[in-house]
Amino acid sequence: MSESTPIAGVMYEEVNESNTTQTCSSCGEKPPSRPKGIAGLGIREWICSDCGTVHDRDVNAAKNILALGHERLAVGIPVLSQ
């Protein structure tokens, strides 16, 4: 559950980042190809076996966190390509 909090005139939402590195930010699935467990921490890039999207672990997590907390604000925010 997220919570909106105003601080210094700025709104932010705290979201649970659980599974954000393992969930595909393109199709929303947690495919078998995702990095898992302690061993998965060393995997920096992975390919979603459901939709074929190539992910950088940290960028994927950031996209999922943005979607969880700020869907209404994310419209029109450009995604930087790598």
> How many domains does the chain contain in total?
1
* Residue 52 forms part of a structural domain: yes
* Residue 17 forms part of a structural domain: yes
* Residue 80 forms part of a structural domain: no
Q: Is the pLDDT assigned to residue 2 strictly greater than 50?
A: no
- pLDDT for 74 equals 45
Residue from 79, 76, 72, 63 nearest 23 by CA: 63
pLDDT digits (tens, 9 = 90+) for 48-64: 999 999 999 999 999 99
Phi, psi of 16 (to 5 degrees): -80, 120
How does strand 54-56 pair with strand 10-14? unpaired
* Residue 10 forms part of a structural domain: yes
* Residue 51 forms part of a structural domain: yes
pLDDT digits (tens, 9 = 90+) for 20-36: 999 999 999 999 988 88
Structure tokens at 7: 């601080």
* Residue 67 forms part of a structural domain: yes
Structural domain of residue 16, as residue ranges?
3-72
